[in-house]
Chain A
């Protein structure tokens, strides 16, 4: 069976209530995401255009058979992939920060040719913490952020996946952004205001 057919089958199984299917799906999606990203990063020119959202879409195209039965399964896939992407990024950012602090020695000099090599880390951990907090009292906003930014769905697709209107997605995102921004930029204990 091709990976595509495996993934498609697993999505269908999962939708039909087979919980193990998700466990089997996870490594396949993870590998594909990782492989795609590595491909991008090997080429500086491509690294400049790297977007996690594009990765998820590309993974979808590669992993899910094109005769994918229905929209519902497709949105399932993006739900899984987006959440997985978030989990992967955060786990690794944590590990990166605590354990090694730059094992890949920087061979960079100031006089290298003008390039667009990517920066090393971001505050995805803070974002994740804030999202967890948000999820406690407003899971839908959290889901919108996850699908939009970790899963790369458009506003329309997000609306369809969550069965809400396009306008609602826009509002949810706007407020979630304001809230997350505040949580992540105030130096006080995150979430104090919200509780």
Chain B
């Protein structure tokens, strides 16, 4: 279609929408009398317009976002690049990702590092830069620079670089780890200088020297990495220095880099100096407190670098640094490029002189020169510092002036602490490898807060503010939802501090709603952390405290925010009590949570989040009631959950999440009616009807996207549950559904053979199918089905799933009994062997719970011998053997009985063994009678 025709079609489409429905066709006929093609185009667009449901495009995009981030890293892991197999991601830079990879062909196997351009970043500029890095590396041959091994273009046209894989630590970490002395550190560093010198001689300036680019391998050899932003010293069209500056790590960048001035080898000398400074003192040469351009420029281009000896970690190190090393470092770190060492080699040479106890070339800057510069720069602030010092000394004498000063100081520190924790932390969070920096920020923030908290007594406003900051720090430390620092203990301490500050504040202002709500929240967070570390009793204490705090506020809660919070805590508490099997209390909490959620939902009928809380609350009540054995009540709640979520799906029919939620809720209803649960209402018919709906929803979700693994899983499982419920008397129907379940599950298993859930359910369905066929005397069919069950179960026998082992044992037992009854003695005993050794020998420390497996394994032997003794191929001591194994099995069951987790189904299995023993003793009686 030409743009002109499209314009005509667009106009007609718009106008047609203004025409009443009934007249539209006639109207269109008239306009397009001469152009049927145009008419059909517009008509089909109009038809499509009527079909489009709201949110159609949103749904497409949203689903894709979710798909993108689920398991996207797994996709990379399975990739191959040329002859290399990617193992895992090692690191990620601005545009490239580095993977650990293996080359495995017939001859040798070796680990390498592969650098790839990240998908979507293959712009000409980046491609050119990447190729340049490859060229540069190809020219470098130096023991302290990783070798370029290979390079090429992958099947999808992306260039890649294969490098020697260096397993090691950053130079600073390495020095710390092995507690290296100053001399050892210097020797390592001299090697780094020689690598940099090598690069310079190849006309390459590295431009991003920092500890993160220097690894020390397992042989103690330092290696200089990442020539990604290096610059060629001769004509280089790529050197756009201003934008490049944006990518630098400011801590090690030279003043000329920060200013955007031309970069020379002197810049690398400076960065080397900064690295050595950190290597020797443990701190960076500049204290950059705020990452703003002005602040960075001030710190790097204007401020004097502190004498390394003055910031050393210990007096002993300070003594070693004072003098020559101070002078050498300060020379490398001169602001003026011309005043630094002219080359990396010269820098290294001076260090070597120090090691050789020969006079070094670096000279100290005079004190007078430094003092003059200092006074010039700090005239203003100096007076301020003096004043603060004065107010501290004269702190006991209260005067209006000093009070103001103290107040100003407090405000200053307050502001700093807030800025630190809130702004600086957030700003560095997206930076790769910023974890260390964030840890430091958190630590420093905590120091400020602790200092402030010590002086906060008596000021509830300050206490509240500090508590907020502690809560925030706690979130940063422990919140698993953020890119967190995984420090549950730290988070716990911070929340506790927040709580005790709020408790203090609360004493002074008992009616302050904000403080009370803060206390309730802090207690809930403490509870969540306790729950995560499986301290349920502790969690409960916190939840109860939280509820106690919010209780008096509930009556005055116009916007529902307090009830919303309390409702969530009630559900938290219900869950914790349920896990502790305190079912009655769990139920009460769930019911209260439900009542609150319903109140809030009434206030905000269109709020999806609260509706979801309502659904969770109904389910929580349902589970609690079910635990109490109150099945009708439980059923009623699950039904309400279904109804609520059904209403939501009606509002948003394309929302697959909601439909899945509905499916799961219906599953609860079905299981309560008469599912596989031990405790149910015995209403098999009702359960079947319910599961038919579950299956229907499951199918529609799966059909909407056949590639969706989870939908396939859900659908397959639903079918297998439905099949299990259908009584054997409806043989044809049951068999048909079993076959359907097998088809769906096999499809899933074929796509993802490593996923044991498909195998698990396939094994179960096949076993049940075998049972069904056996009952209808289709012995060959039954044997075949049990064989499949055993195969699927056997595949995952070592995965630590008891149910899969049980299926493996029972399907082999059944095949063995069948073979025995047909007189196939060897075959029967073969199955007995497999059952007896299913899952291998129990090992110490294995996760598998063997308590209920071992008696089944012995039982299978016993039952098969018993069947043999009755079959056409009986041997003399079959009864004896059966008796032995069954006794063993019964003994193991009795042992299991004394341990927790012994359920009615285990009792049933024991009963079966005991019945067989009675049978055996009768046979023994007849045998001995015959013998007599």
Contact = CB atoms under 8 A, between A and B. Distances in A.
10 contacts: A6-B247, A41-B69, A45-B609, A101-B709, A115-B661, A120-B709, A121-B705, A178-B48, A180-B57, A193-B41
B119 A104 contact: no
Nearest to B704: A119
B338 interface: no
Interface string A126-154: 01000000000110000001001110000
B246 A9 contact: yes
B710 A103 contact: no
A26 B480 contact: no
A189 interface: no
Contacts of A145: 57
B65 A89 contact: yes
Contacts of A114: 615-616, 619, 641, 645, 661, 664-665, 668
Contacts of B322: none
A112 interface: yes
Interface in A1-40: 1-6, 9-10, 13, 18-24, 26-28, 30-32, 34-35, 37-39
Given A24-B247, A48-B609, 17 more contacts: A1-B292, A23-B121, A26-B123, A31-B432, A37-B69, A39-B482, A89-B68, A99-B79, A105-B756, A110-B667, A111-B671, A118-B70, A120-B705, A121-B63, A175-B10, A178-B46, A181-B49
A20 B52 CA distance: 41
A171 to B, nearest CB: 6
A135 to B, nearest CB: 12
B371 interface: no
A18 B75 contact: no
Contacts, number: 306
Given A101-B752, A118-B66, A178-B49, A13 B430 contact: no
Interface string B515-549: 00000000000000000000000000000000000
B612 interface: yes
B36 interface: no
A52 B65 contact: yes
Interface in B193-237: none
Given A3-B430, A114-B615, A127-B57, A195 B1 contact: yes
Interface in A173-187: 174-175, 177-182, 185
Interface stretch (A71-79, A90-98, A157-165): A90-98
B702 to A, nearest CB: 11
B408 to A, nearest CB: 26
B109 interface: no
B664 A89 contact: no
B657 A42 contact: no
Contact of A52 (B2, B61, B432, B718): B61
Contacts of B46: 178
A55 to B, nearest CB: 7
Given A31-B430, A49-B609, A181-B56, A105 B752 contact: yes
Nearest to B623: A113
B845 interface: no
Contacts of A34: 69
B234 to A, nearest CB: 20
A97 B608 contact: no
A43 interface: yes
A20 B240 CA distance: 8
Interface string B242-264: 11001100100000000000000
B701 A119 contact: yes
Contact of A111 (B45, B63, B667, B755): B667
Contact of B75 (A2, A21, A53, A100): A100
B685 interface: no
Given A46-B481, A177-B49, A92 B754 contact: no
Nearest to A51: B62
A189 to B, nearest CB: 14
Nearest to B426: A62
A155 interface: no
B841 interface: no
B80 to A, nearest CB: 10
Contacts of A80: none
Nearest to A86: B61
A9 B121 CA distance: 20
A99 B707 CA distance: 12
Contacts of A52: 61-62, 64-65
A177 B52 contact: yes
B440 interface: no
Contacts of A138: 3, 6, 10
A5 B44 CA distance: 49
B710 A119 contact: yes
Contacts of A51: 58, 62
A149 B61 contact: yes
A68 interface: no
B609 A102 contact: no
B74 A100 contact: yes
Interface string B704-740: 0101111101100110010000000000000000000
B70 A26 contact: no
Nearest to A179: B45
B483 A35 contact: yes
Nearest to B480: A42
B95 interface: yes
B58 A87 contact: no
Interface in B638-665: 641, 645, 656-658, 660-661, 663-665
